[in-house]
Amino acid sequence: MIKKLMHKYALSEQGAKDMVKACFFCALTNICLMMPSGVLYMLIKDLLEDNLSRDRLGIYLIASAVILALIAFTNYLQYNATFLSTYRESGVRRTALAEKLRKLPLSYFGKKNIADLTTNIMGDCASIETASSHWIPELIGALISTSLVGISLFFFFDWRMALASFWVIPIAFLIVLSCSGAEKRAIRKNTAIKMDMADGIQECLESIRDLRANNAEGKYMDGLENKIRKVEKMALFTELKMAVYVNSAAIILKLGIGTTALVGGALFADGSISILTFFMFLMLVSRLYDPMQITLQNFAAIISIGIQSERLDEVLSHKIQTGTDHLSNTGYDITFDHVGFQYSDDTTVLKDVSFTAKQGEVTALIGPSGGGKTTISRLAARFWDPTEGKITLGGTDISGIDPETLLQKYSIVFQDVTLFNNSVLENIRIGKAGATDDEVKEAARLANCEEFVSLLPEGYNTRIGENGSELSGGERQRISIARAFLKDAPIILLDEATASLDAENETVIQEALSRLIRNKTVMIIAHRMRTIANADHIVVLKDGVVAEEGTPSELMGKDSLYRHMTEQQMLSQNWKME
Ligand SMILES: Nc1ncnc2c1ncn2[C@@H]1O[C@H](COP(=O)(O)OP(=O)(O)OP(=O)(O)O)[C@@H](O)[C@H]1O
Ligand SMILES: [Mg+2]
């Protein structure tokens, strides 16, 4: 049962055990809350039978005091078991989710959009939190206590009256249950539409600059408004549908008062039950149905929570990239051995790619845009695993190495630089946690950051805006290069690392790079032939296959794509506007 609960509500083992405990204490509290009615019943019975002695009154008073203390105590237990453990569990769930996201392969993020994941972490966790702290324990607790009361009334008082009062409860639950399929479908649809809207808003905020530049703001906003209206309509429709089911169930519940009165009246008239029993059942139904109505709403809400749990469970149980954290490579040669790769099932990005990037050499990947260069650098760092063939590092298949351990050996400068809204110093320090300020500044100096940092209002301590929005493209790139300098790992992957730099900056950085890369494995991707002119080995990629391979002079000596690209760039450099 614990395993089932863990799976159904995305709980940890402790969380599932706590939930069982919470349900038990809720039932206990409910039973204690019914005890005063029992005392009242006995008291009235004694009064009617003229049996109320001083001693008995004393007993009732003591019993009332004990019951009160019991209610306070069970309430305390219930509070501990539901709220405290729920919030503890919520913390555990969010941490587990964050930990999982850290370990998920990048292919997972390619399939999911950020809005979806944000909703997962914030929204779904919050819903499950409410369900665990309120809905589920209260529902199960109410069901247990109501069943116990129903059974005892059936056997110890009058089975006909018990049936007349309780028949409505299973029917009401069945009505709500019968709509669970429709409810789940509506919520799935609702979530998809909401996700689409959240995605639209995020995309709009991210691309507002381009939308303005292309005068496309108005048209885009109309589309976004449509998405928002759709969410509004769907939410109203879903609410209405649910209200019909839950209110029908609530009306059925109220019918119970009628049947209790009718059956009780008839039985009292023919002398089968006493006025006291009749009175007790009437008191019971008037007290029972209101909380039952809330329980029905909880029940409907729990059905809907299934969708959120499924989504969380999908993240939590997604396969992660694993491997040993003990490296057994000899040297740092990276070899692609008949590697094939697809991002999705329908398009092949790399086909039978084989080459070696040797340690102590600079291997340049060049070729037309979309040829698969960036993909190769991602595979080399195990951001994705190849679909076919294998990649080895110093003879060891990297698919057997833990990604975090592997990445300790890589300094990477990506084509699209990511910076954080923090100081320049901290943005560079990401390259090596725990690096001293002096080490960070030395890396910054090597990457030629000093000149622009000295112009910032607070120098190295200036915050650079979200994703470095307050810096130019070249400045952002230099911060990213400084990170790589600081990390100083044995393998260096540079994807268009100097593409946004002017010739002067590029020359300075290349000089620094040439000092950094000594005896390391360097894979460099560049469109500018000038950048890779001194490479030891060139791999030309075209349409996902290795079209040519060799040293620059070998390739220049024949009618190669490399020679053609170099000549083309010379021509374009000499091109003048007429
Ligand atoms: N995350 C992704 N999901 C799906 N397809 C992708 C993804 N990234 C790249 N692709 C596709 O893979 C192919 C190769 O892309 P890649 O980025 O490796 O090319 P590239 O040689 O680096 O190009 P460029 O010189 O323009 O940077 C392209 O057709 C691209 O559309
Ligand atoms: Mg690329």
Domain ranges, ordered by start, for the chain: 2-316, 324-409+521-578, 410-488
CA–CA gap between residue 122 and residue 143 (Å, rounded): 31
CA–CA gap between residue 230 and residue 240 (Å, rounded): 15
CA–CA gap between residue 45 and residue 43 (Å, rounded): 5
Residue 264 has a CB neighbour count (10 Å cut-off) of 25
* Ligand 1 close to Cβ of residue 372 (< 6 A): yes
Alpha-helical runs (H) found in 179-324? 180-213, 217-269, 275-316
Does position 355 have pLDDT exceeding 90, yes or no? Answer: yes
pLDDT at 148: 87
Q: Report strand pairing: 491-495 vs 521-525.
A: parallel
pLDDT at 573: 62
Give the mean pLDDT of the chain.
86
Q: Residues 462, 469: contact at Cβ < 8 Å?
A: no
Any idea which fold 2-316 has?
ABC transporter transmembrane region fold (1.20.1560)
CA–CA gap between residue 325 and residue 400 (Å, rounded): 9
Cα(374) to centroid(ligand 1), Å: 7
Token couple for 74: 């069970």
Q: Residues 518, 479: contact at Cβ < 8 Å?
A: no
CA–CA gap between residue 133 and residue 335 (Å, rounded): 54
Does position 379 have pLDDT exceeding 90, yes or no? Answer: yes
Stretch 224-250: mean pLDDT, rounded? 89
Instruction: Tell if the pTM clears 0.75, that is, is over it.
Output: no
pLDDT at 242: 82
Q: How far is CA 574 from CA 95, 530, 559, 567, in A?
A: 57, 14, 22, 11
For residue 371, which atom of ligand 1 is closest to its CA?
21
pLDDT at 128: 82
Mutate to test the pocket of ligand 1, among 348, 374, 383, 384 (most ligand atoms within 8 A of CB): 374
The distance in angstroms from the start CA to the end CA of the chain is: 80
Mutate to test the pocket of ligand 1, among 373, 412, 494 (most ligand atoms within 8 A of CB): 373
Name the 3-class secondary structure at 218: helix
550 strand-pairing partners: 538
Mutate to test the pocket of ligand 1, among 107, 108, 342, 349 (most ligand atoms within 8 A of CB): 349
* Ligand 1 close to Cβ of residue 137 (< 6 A): no
For residue 375, which atom of ligand 1 is closest to its CA?
18
User: What single-letter amino acid sits at 278?
Assistant: F
Quick: pLDDT tens for 262-304. 999 999 999 898 888 888 888 888 777 877 888 888 888 888 8
* Ligand 1 close to Cβ of residue 371 (< 6 A): yes
Does position 515 have pLDDT exceeding 80, yes or no? Answer: no
Q: Residues 97, 315: contact at Cβ < 8 Å?
A: yes
Does position 339 have pLDDT exceeding 90, yes or no? Answer: yes
* Ligand 1 close to Cβ of residue 516 (< 6 A): no
Does position 577 have pLDDT exceeding 70, yes or no? Answer: no
Q: Residues 533, 500: contact at Cβ < 8 Å?
A: no
pLDDT band of 575, cuts 50, 70, 90: low
User: What single-letter amino acid sits at 194?
Assistant: K
pLDDT band of 39, cuts 50, 70, 90: confident
Residue with tokens 């070249």, as numbered in its chain: 474
What does the radius of gyration of the chain's CA atoms come to, in whole angstroms? Answer: 35
Cα(188) to centroid(ligand 2), Å: 37
Superfamily for the 324-409+521-578 domain: P-loop containing nucleotide triphosphate hydrolases (3.40.50.300)
* Ligand 1 close to Cβ of residue 343 (< 6 A): yes
For residue 544, which atom of ligand 1 is closest to its CA?
14
**Which residues, 6 or more positions from 109, have their beta carbon under 8 angstroms from its beta carbon?**
117
pLDDT band of 578, cuts 50, 70, 90: low
User: Taking the C-alpha atoms of 541, 546, 552 and 554 in order, what is their torsion angle to the nearest 10 degrees?
Assistant: -150
CA–CA gap between residue 5 and residue 19 (Å, rounded): 9
CA–CA gap between residue 473 and residue 416 (Å, rounded): 10
Quick: pLDDT tens for 7-25. 777 777 887 888 888 888 8
Any idea which fold 410-488 has?
Rossmann fold (3.40.50)
Cα(218) to centroid(ligand 2), Å: 32
Cα(372) to centroid(ligand 1), Å: 6
* Ligand 1 close to Cβ of residue 375 (< 6 A): yes
Cα(344) to centroid(ligand 1), Å: 12
Q: Is 559 exposed, middle or buried (0-12, 13-18, 19+ CB in 10 A)?
A: exposed
Ligand nearest to the CA of 365: 1
pLDDT at 574: 62
Task: State percent of the chain over pLDDT 90.
Answer: 31
pLDDT band of 228, cuts 50, 70, 90: very high
* Ligand 1 close to Cβ of residue 264 (< 6 A): no
pLDDT band of 1, cuts 50, 70, 90: confident
Q: Residues 194, 115: contact at Cβ < 8 Å?
A: no
Q: Is 471 exposed, middle or buried (0-12, 13-18, 19+ CB in 10 A)?
A: buried
Stretch 530-552: mean pLDDT, rounded? 89
For residue 541, which atom of ligand 1 is closest to its CA?
21
Quick: pLDDT tens for 162-209. 999 999 999 999 998 888 888 888 888 888 898 888 888 888 888 888
Answer yes or no: same fold for 324-409+521-578 and 410-488: yes
CA–CA gap between residue 396 and residue 32 (Å, rounded): 66
**Which residues, 6 or more positions from 223, have their beta carbon under 8 angstroms from its beta carbon?**
200
